[in-house]
Amino acid sequence: MTTNSLRVRYAPSPTGHLHIGGARTALFDYLLARASGGAFIIRFEDTDQTRHQESGIGNQLDGLKWLGLDWDESVDVGGPYGPYRQMERLHLYQQYVDQMLDQGSAYRCFCSELDLEQERSEQEAQGEMTGYSGKCRHLTKEQAAAFEAEGRKPSIRFLVPADRIIAFEDKVRGHVEFDSNGIGDFIMVRPDGIPTYNFAVIVDDHLMKINLVLRGEEHLSNTPRQIIMYEALRLPVPEFAHLALILNQDRKKMSKRDESILQFIQQYNELGYLPEAVVNFIALLGWSPQGEEEIFTLEELIEQFDLDRVSKSPAVFDMDKLNWMNNLYLKKTALERVVELSLPHLQKAGYISADPDASTMEWVTALVGINQERMRFAAEIVELSALFFKEELIVDEEARAILSEEHVPIVLRAFLEQVHQSDELTVQGMPELLKNVQKETGFKGKQLFMSIRAALTGQVHGPDLNVSLYLLGKEKIAARLEKLL
Ligand code: GLU
């Protein structure tokens, strides 16, 4: 790999499961890296120990794996620029702190939380803009020593230069600029010696040779802070691309509590979505392909994805579209795989035992087979197949109308007789059985099939009748017809 090939990173704070927003950032990183022969790196930003969850690391990686992504460097696969979690990199930051302190671009600040709070309320009382006043900028050596003697531990603040316009060309948003006067001196290292996000991120991105930083728009206002630190250290500044927000169906900002959409990748896994459909859907959250086609494999996405076609306006998360897309993928998926996805849901519902035998599996395969076209995700199999499990049959209005017709009892009686006479109901044997009913009663076509369907499924429409009858089985058919007659 040449030194100037693309190096991109996804840098989650491991606070929980993989969120749809994080998954999108990771996917876009991955697509760019794979298309260019570059490297995709996952780095964990765990310096905020109050929000850190150890399981978060595994959860993030599991989510990405489920989506079908892989990476070149991270905590699990290693790499030349590790370690890949910040709490294991603490020894790497000091050199840059020292450099900044020496050259006067950072200083020690001894203000306590209480001092800062006081300062803030004074500013508020005066009607001034709140923010750190920079009062520790000019401490003398003696003053600093006195504070240290008191046992105060300093934080390190970056000295933000006044009157600077900090500008950059964002690969998504175009020209962006900030006035440095709107940025107070910010903390780079907390009193406990742990770097803050803004500082750690520039050191790591530099040491890991990241040359494109792709992330969510919520980090846009951090970017000028990062740029002035790169500049103070005379380090090359990477390129940036900030992805617009993902809004919920009501076009409002998503909150973690929002239940109108599934926000975590884990939930899609649990409900039996297909990862390739979820990836396809996520790719379209902000990116628009060149033509009309919207259905892409990961390989095709690698080929087609282009940052130039990523929108700077927010994307709207449309759950119906995702369900439509997943259904489209499910229909094209091999039946065995759909069965595999569906089985755990039938088991969880208590419909199928933990260790099904071959004939049960044959039955399940037929069940999934007649529902494959309709299913939006595998968990729906439970609802779609309730008819075959529930004792109580719900008969809808149309079916009730059919059942009140005169010929119905005749047909049903003859059919019940046929069922009693056969050893076993099979899909293949069903046409002959129905033929016998026809011969005996003289009723055929709609009059024959509709009566049986309405009586046994409570509906006039539904999947293949032969398969439905096989799935119901002798006992259920007999019980339902006897009750009805
Ligand atoms: N740790 C940050 C987050 O999870 C990443 C920000 C970045 O990519 O620079 O939001």
For the chain, give every residue range classified as CATH 1.10.10.350. 390-484
The set of residues, in sequence order, having a beta carbon less than 8 Å from that of 291 and lying 6+ positions away, is: none
- What is the structure's pLDDT at 411? 95
For the chain, give every residue range classified as CATH 3.40.50.620. 91-243
- What is the structure's pLDDT at 3? 53
- Verify whether ligand 1 is closer than 6 Å to residue 215 (CB atom): yes
pLDDT (tens digit per residue) in 165-183: 999 999 999 999 999 999 9
The pLDDT of 251-275, averaged and rounded, is: 90
Q: Which atom of ligand 1 is nearest to the CA of 12?
A: 4
pLDDT (tens digit per residue) in 136-149: 999 998 999 999 99
- Verify whether ligand 1 is closer than 6 Å to residue 46 (CB atom): no
- Verify whether ligand 1 is closer than 6 Å to residue 201 (CB atom): yes
- What is the structure's pLDDT at 272? 97
Q: Which atom of ligand 1 is nearest to the CA of 9?
A: 8
Q: Mean pLDDT score of the chain, rounded to an integer?
A: 94
**Choice from 7, 8, 10, 13 to test ligand 1 binding pocket (greatest atom count within 8 A of CB):** 13
At position 354, the amino acid (one-letter code) is: A
Q: Are 198 and 226 in contact (CB under 8 A)?
A: yes
Alpha-carbon distance of 240 to 223, in angstroms, equals: 8
Angle at Cα 36 formed by Cα 34 and Cα 42, nearest 5°? 50
Token output for 93: 């930051």
Strands (E), 34-131: 39-42, 106-109
pLDDT (tens digit per residue) in 59-113: 999 999 999 999 999 999 999 999 999 999 999 999 999 999 999 999 999 998 8
Give the best-scoring range by mean pLDDT among 44-53, 83-92, 111-120.
Answer: 83-92
The pLDDT of 315-342, averaged and rounded, is: 97
- Active-site residue list: 256
Alpha-carbon distance of 450 to 234, in angstroms, equals: 80
pLDDT (tens digit per residue) in 281-301: 999 999 999 999 999 999 999
Using the predicted structure, report yes or no on whether residue 2 has a pLDDT greater than 50: no
pLDDT (tens digit per residue) in 182-205: 999 999 999 999 999 999 999 999
Alpha-carbon distance of 315 to 245, in angstroms, equals: 6
- What is the structure's pLDDT at 18? 95
Using the predicted structure, report yes or no on whether residue 211 has a pLDDT greater than 60: yes
CA-nearest residue, atom 5 of ligand 1: 11
Torsion angle of C-alpha atoms 376, 381, 383, 388, degrees rounded to 10:
140
Alpha-carbon distance of 219 to 307, in angstroms, equals: 18
Q: Which atom of ligand 1 is nearest to the CA of 219?
A: 6
CA of 469 to the centre of ligand 1 (A): 55
3-state secondary structure of 238: coil
Exposed, middle or buried: residue 207 (CB in 10 Å: 0-12, 13-18, 19+)?
A: middle
What angle, 0 to 180 degrees and rounded to 10, lies between the N-to-C axes of helices 223-232 and 197-207? Answer: 60
Mark residue 462 as left, alpha or beta (left: phi above 0; alpha: psi -120 to 50; beta: remaining).
left
Residues 438-445: contacts with CB under 8 Å, at least 24 apart: 440/414, 441/407, 441/410, 441/411, 441/414, 443/407, 443/410, 443/411
Query: Cα–Cα distances in Å, from 168 out to 92, 205, 287?
Result: 27, 17, 22
- What is the structure's pLDDT at 218? 94
Tell me which of 129 and 384 has the higher pLDDT: 384
pLDDT (tens digit per residue) in 394-406: 999 999 999 999 9
Which CATH entry fits the domain spanning 91-243: 3.40.50.620, 3.40.1390.10, 3.40.50.170, 2.40.420.20? 3.40.50.620
CATH code, residues 390-484: 1.10.10.350
Alpha-carbon distance of 192 to 213, in angstroms, equals: 28
CA of 198 to the centre of ligand 1 (A): 9
